[in-house]
Amino acid sequence: MSSDRSDQLRAIRDAVVNLIDSPLYEYRTSNGYYPVIGQGDHFADIMFIGEAPGKNEAETGRPFCGASGRVLDELLESIDLKREDVYVTNILKDRPPNNRDPLKQEIKLYTPFLERQIEIIQPKVIATLGRFSMEFILRHFGALQANQKISQLHGAVIKVRTGYGRASVVPLFHPAAALYNAGQRATLEEDFQVLKQFDAPSQPGTMRLL
Ligand code: URA
């Protein structure tokens, strides 16, 4: 079974690796960057979705492995979770130049991969990290809250209907926001407590890079 999911995720990786139509492909290859597909347990109950890989991530092929990743690890630890208990990915699988905001065309090109990842992993909870991710996911699932702001929705549990059944979306601020702002850090810590009700991994997760 697990190899089914891993095989399907591997197919996504192969498609992204060969995504020569992407406006970010040339930037990836000329810098020796890797695409960043995702990392964590392929049977995770909680999937975290960020915006796009930064420099550290593109250099290693791992999501959230830089400064915001350290914040994410600490927040997970605060609710007794480790990276291998969850699955972490991004909307874009390639780094935009100088960490600029993703363009509409890029979001359109990369989101089919994210949609597939969600269908394969079938998380009970989708925790969005930052505004881009929240807006995409709420729109994708046709949530009524889709036009509300992250300042109104952070920490809420929004029920959505997915292709594999019901799931909850929990919008969270991006961990980078906590790096230089103690207030945002405290808000993130509080909002992470909301995830506690879902974090009952029946067995230790398996860390996979895919
Ligand atoms: N920020 C993101 O949104 N994703 C990463 O993987 C790293 C930083």
- Read off the pLDDT band of 198 (50, 70, 90): confident
Q: Atom 7 of ligand 1 has which residue's CA nearest to it?
A: 64
Q: Does the pLDDT value for residue 1 go beyond 80?
A: no
Task: Quick: pLDDT tens for 144-186.
Answer: 999 999 999 999 999 999 999 999 999 999 999 999 899 999 9
Task: State how many domains the chain has.
Answer: 1
Work out the average pLDDT over 106-124: 97
In order of 7, 104, 199, the CA distances from 187 in angstroms are 38, 29, 19
**45 — phi, psi (to 5°)?**
-80, -25
pLDDT surpassing 70 at residue 2 = no
Query: Is residue 203, in this structure, part of any structural domain at all?
Result: no
CA of 150 to the centre of ligand 1 (A): 17
Mutational test site, ligand 1, from 36, 60, 68, 91, max ligand atoms within 8 Å of CB: 68
Mean pLDDT in the chain?
95
**In a domain? residue 208:** no
Distance 141 CA to ligand 1 centre (A): 22
From 72, 88, 191, 98, select the one nearest 133 (Cα to Cα).
Answer: 88
Q: Give distance in angstroms: CA of 40 to centre of ligand 1.
A: 15
Task: Quote the domain boundaries for residue 61.
Answer: 2-198
Lowest mean pLDDT of 33-47, 61-75, 97-111, 149-163, name the range. 97-111
CATH code where residue 78 lies: 3.40.470.10
CB-defined site of ligand 1, < 6 Å: 50-54, 57, 63-64, 68, 90
**Residue 111 confidence (pLDDT):** 95
Question: Is 163 inside any structural domain?
Answer: yes
Note the pLDDT of residue 205: 84
pLDDT in tens, 8-50: 999 999 999 999 999 999 999 999 999 999 999 999 999 999 9
Task: Please check whether residue 129 lies inside any domain of the structure.
Answer: yes
Q: What are the φ and ψ backbone dihedral angles of 79, each rounded to 5 degrees?
A: -120, 30
Q: Domain for residue 207, yes or no?
A: no
Is 206 contained in some domain? no
Q: Among 33, 56, 57, 91, which is best to mutate for testing ligand 1, by the most ligand atoms less than 8 A from CB? A: 57
The answer to whether residue 200 scores a pLDDT higher than 80 is no
Sign of CA dihedral 11, 34, 85, 184: negative
Q: Which residues are within 8 A (CB) of 171 and not within 5 positions of it... i.e. 6 or more apart? A: 127, 128, 134, 138, 150, 153, 154, 155, 156, 158
Domain assignment of residue 174, yes or no: yes
pLDDT exceeds cutoff 90 at 203: no
